[in-house]
Amino acid sequence: MTTADTIGSSDAAWMAERRSAASTALATLSMPSPREEIWRYLDLDFDPGLAAAATEPGDTAPPDAVMSGWEGSFISVVDGFVVSEGVGTASASESEVALPDDGDLFSTASRAFAPGAALIGKGLLDTPVFVDVQSTGTATSFPGVHVDVPAGSDATVLVRYRSTTGEPATVVPTVTATVGDNARLTLTVIQDWNYRTRAMGRGVVSLGRDAGLTLTEVGLGGLVGRLHLDVDFVGRGSHAKVYGAYFGEEDQTLDYRYFMNHIGTDTRCDMFLKGAVEDDALSVFTGLIRIEESGQKTESFQTNRNLILSPGASAQSVPNLEILANDVKCGHGSSVGPLDEDQRYYLMSRGLTPERADRLQVHGFFEEVIDVIPDDSVADWVRTRINDKYVTAQQEGRV
């Protein structure tokens, strides 16, 4: 393990300048407003705790069940600090790294306070990489992961977010990736913060010519679990499959804002998200397919399906298209509703109790997404977590 540097002490010149500008801008910013469409439906009435941002990593927790079957390398990021030997940070890179800059409070705070995203590139990507991102206490933290996939290569990266205590915290995680020409990235993100954590996540992926992306996000934890994702199809022939599975309970809010930006010609994307909510949980999905004038011959589709498992739960699903080109194929679809009564009846006619029939429906609903997770042991863990959420709610009479 390495000893983490003081924030900013190892910054490259470009990062030092960027950090200074963000620190100055931060003094002029306030919390985002739910009147803004990008923040709509969220309760933002809380203190983000920027004055108490983490200045050093807490104690690193040992590997847990989700990591037990992983065949590849591990990187640990604790309270925003990279603590693994041999792993550099984006902030210390001599070459400037593109990091999100949305101009809002959270994005600006991340640029000002983040110790430096774990930089995963050539060499580290020779084997599948598991990035274990931990929050250990109440301090606000800014963990980051940047993946740089060289042209012509294949890479597999799994990022898992977890809380190692039950303490409330604010976390502002970022995952960014640059996929070179004719390269492939399989990226899996598992959000498993505790139910007292507010996570304001950001993701940006840029795809070169004929580059490919398979992205799967699983949302399980967080009092607020947000992911604002941009995928930029820059190079001709770039393509992606984007999957999501999320399950909210109690008073969780799981918030997804996905933007597929088609810039190059002959690009393709399939976006497919499935979610369920029970108790008083809320899920939000806003998806946008934007096709620039240069994005001729684009094919892009988005689908969002939601199950409402309790009377107090709700889901917002808002797919959108913005098309500036005239030779494209695209579409969208969404649904929000309860479990299927006809399927329940059919399963009961085959001898299942109503409870087991409903469990089987929930299990099958998510299987299309879970089956895409590239590591079988991680997929089994996700499957068990989702099923256990629903079974526990059944046993406690919450659904």
| Residue ranges covered by each domain of the chain | 13-339
The whole-number average pLDDT for the span 248-271 is: 98
Angle, helices 13-26 vs 105-113, to 10°: value is 140
Is the pLDDT at 1 greater than 50, yes or no?
Answer: no
Q: pLDDT grade, residue 3 (50/70/90)? A: very low
Q: Which amino acid is it at 82?
A: V
Is the pLDDT at 319 greater than 50, yes or no?
Answer: yes
Is the pLDDT at 271 greater than 90, yes or no?
Answer: yes
Is the pLDDT at 2 greater than 80, yes or no?
Answer: no
The total number of residues shown for the chain amounts to: 399
Is the pLDDT at 310 greater than 50, yes or no?
Answer: yes
pLDDT at 99: 87
How many other C-beta atoms lie within 10 A of the C-beta of residue 215?
A: 23
Nearest to 354 by CA among 341, 336, 338, 364: 341
Q: At 352, is the secondary structure helix, strand, or coil?
A: coil
The whole-number average pLDDT for the span 109-132 is: 97
Q: pLDDT grade, residue 5 (50/70/90)? A: low
Spell out the alpha helix ranges (H) of the chain: 13-26, 105-113, 341-349, 354-370, 376-395
Is the pLDDT at 284 greater than 60, yes or no?
Answer: yes
Q: Quick one: which H or E segment has residue 354?
A: helix 354-370
For all residues of the chain together, what is the average pLDDT?
96
Q: pLDDT grade, residue 8 (50/70/90)? A: confident
Is the pLDDT at 199 greater than 50, yes or no?
Answer: yes
Top-confidence residue, 69 or 142: 142
Percentage of the chain with pLDDT > 90? 96
Joined together, the tokens standing for residue 194 give: 């505790």
The whole-number average pLDDT for the span 266-280 is: 98
pLDDT at 101: 93
Q: Which residues contact 45 (CB under 8 A, 6 or more apart)?
A: none
Alpha-carbon distance of 66 to 50, in angstroms, equals 31
Alpha-carbon distance of 318 to 257, in angstroms, equals 10
* pTM as predicted: 0.96
End-to-end CA distance of the chain: 45
